[in-house]
Amino acid sequence: MAPVVKALMKQPEIETIVCSTGQHREMLKPILDLFKISCDHDLDVMVPGQDLNALFSRTLFRTGELLSKVGADRLLVHGDTTTAGAAALAAFHQKLPVGHVEAGLRTRRLHEPWPEELNRRLVDIVADHLYAPTEESARNLEAEALGKKTIVVTGNTVIDALLQVNEQLTSNSSLIAVLEQKFGFLDRSKKLLLITGHRRENFGQAFENICRAIAEIGRRGDTQIVYPVHLNPNVREPVFRIIGNCENISLIEPVGYLEFVYLMRLATLILTDSGGVQEEAPSLGKRVLVMRNITERPEAVAAGLVEIVGTEHDRIVDRVSDYLDGRSSISLDGAVNPYGDGHAAERIVHQLNSEY
């Protein structure tokens, strides 16, 4: 959402109020600092050990209070998190119009991803402005006959953010020097496999399979693995238990967006269950293997940029090995990222300006 906030702040006729739910503040602060954004309100919804119902209800209540207090004319929410769904519903209860950034993504399986598939549908139902990242996501919305909506194909704002950060990394030699020192443990003579993994629907046996596969890949002498481990205890426990002492695997704390883009630039291959990485990596010419059974981002799969490998141990190990050993081509030369050109935020702001 950062590029949208920055673009809105350039509009003198629009007062932009930034709200955080207070989840993982230590992960949010580097993003705010990087894009020079201040958070005006913190809902402070996090309670240790709370389940999704508690998170949803606290977000619903506190967003409703805030919207009444500030007298907002419109709420913008992004994506498909539980907090996005709750915030959109809070606005709907006050008959406040909602704009959904990254609208229309679908797997058509309510439990994959869980609970995101339900959240994104909920937001699209209550929102009147739907900012679809691709033509396919727009067609998804049109096919659902959601009523009178404004649907605009904008590209995905994550590509805006990626290209802005990548430009810094390309042009700022002193910044590169700082990052090279920070990640000085990397052996540039080895292939780099970058991993992210944190999806709720994978918790349990599927995530154990993923960890065992990573451990086996880590036995390769020609490859090093870097895994920034999410703060969720359902992720950290199996990760550190199964692969905490494996050679060639660096388990590091979550990194800021700047650092993560730097690691993507260095990666030979990316293994993930994330949604955003599927969109970002192709813009850097990096191939992605997705540890899920289905994706709401089929455009990159259709374009040959992303491959779904599931969560079974043998499948993950086999396909990673095929790419690292050259049996499958890692090269993405000439590929065009279907998720945008870096001007999504401008299109969203243009549409908002045309409304008032």
Question: What are the tokens at 78?
Answer: 């992004």
Say if residue 136 is exposed, middle or buried (CB neighbours under 10 Å; 0-12, 13-18, 19+): middle
* Spatial CB neighbours of 55, under 8 Å, sequence gap ≥ 6: 45, 46, 82, 83, 86
Closest by Cα among 354, 356, 348 to 5: 348
Query: Any idea which residues carry the catalytic annotation?
Result: 80, 102, 116, 198, 200, 230
Tokens 């999806």 belong to: 199
Please count the residues of the chain: 356
Between CA 44 and CA 25 the distance in angstroms is 10
* Angle made by CA atoms 170, 288, 320, in degrees to the nearest 5: 120
In sequence order, the β-bridge partners of residue 196 are 272
Buried/exposed code over 208-218 (b: 16+ C-beta within 10 A; e: otherwise) = bbbbbbbbbbb
Do residues 129 and 350 touch, judged by C-beta distance below 8 A? no
90 closest CA partner among 73, 106, 75, 108: 75
166 contact partners, CB below 8 Å, separation of at least 6: 261, 265, 283, 284
Using alpha carbons only, what angle is made at residue 227 by residues 258 and 3, rounded to the nearest 5 degrees?
Answer: 25
Query: Residues 333, 111: contact at Cβ < 8 Å?
Result: no
